[in-house]
């Protein structure tokens, strides 16, 4: 069965600083990987996805993620964080068109 680990429960970043959120997955075949963001009281919004091809994927709001098969990782990055990026971020792995397995989430706090 697939699993996702997000080792950081909380991360605090200064506004304007760079960000990296870690995600490690466990899945037997080629995974389909996703990052979602959840603002308080809101649903989950897709930031980016990886299905195949270029291992560096670009998403919305200036986010990018890199798939590293050798490390079973799919870390999310942003070069300069804005206060509006404060939210909870979820990494997920999907078995193709099937269901998603989510990590526990990382809460991002942005300090002025």
Partner 1 sequence: DSGVTQTPKHLITATGQRVTLRCSPRSGDLSVYWYQQSLDQGLQFLIQYYNGEERAKGNILERFSAQQFPDLHSELNLSSLELGDSALYFCASSPKMGQPTEAFFGQGTRLTVV
Taking the complex as a whole, how short is the minimal distance between the CB of residue 93 and partner 1, in angstroms? 12
Say which residues have a Cβ less than 8 Å from residue 66's Cβ, sequence separation at least 6. 55, 56, 57, 73, 74, 75, 77
**Given the rule CB under 8 A, which of 21-29, 66-74, 77-85, 91-99 is the region that contacts partner 1?**
91-99
Q: Does 32 bind partner 1 (CB under 8 A)?
A: yes
90, 21 Cβ separation under 8 angstroms = no
Q: Does 100 bind partner 1 (CB under 8 A)?
A: yes
The continuous run of DSSP H or E covering 46 comes out as strand 44-50
Binding site for partner 1 (CB under 8 A): 32, 34, 36, 42-46, 49, 51, 90, 94, 96-105
């Amino acid at each position: 069965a697939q699993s996702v680990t997000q080792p950081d429960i909380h991360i605090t970043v200064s506004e304007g600083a760079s960000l990296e959120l870690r995600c490690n997955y466990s899945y037997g075949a080629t995974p389909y990987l996703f990052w979602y963001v959840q603002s308080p009281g809101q649903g989950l919004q897709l930031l980016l996805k990886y299905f195949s091809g270029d291992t560096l994927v670009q998403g919305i709001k200036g986010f990018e993620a890199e798939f590293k098969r050798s490390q079973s990782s799919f870390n999310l990055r942003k070069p300069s964080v804005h206060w509006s990026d404060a939210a909870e971020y979820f990494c997920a792995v999907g078995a193709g068109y099937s269901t998603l397995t989510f990590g526990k989430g990382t809460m991002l706090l942005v300090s002025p």
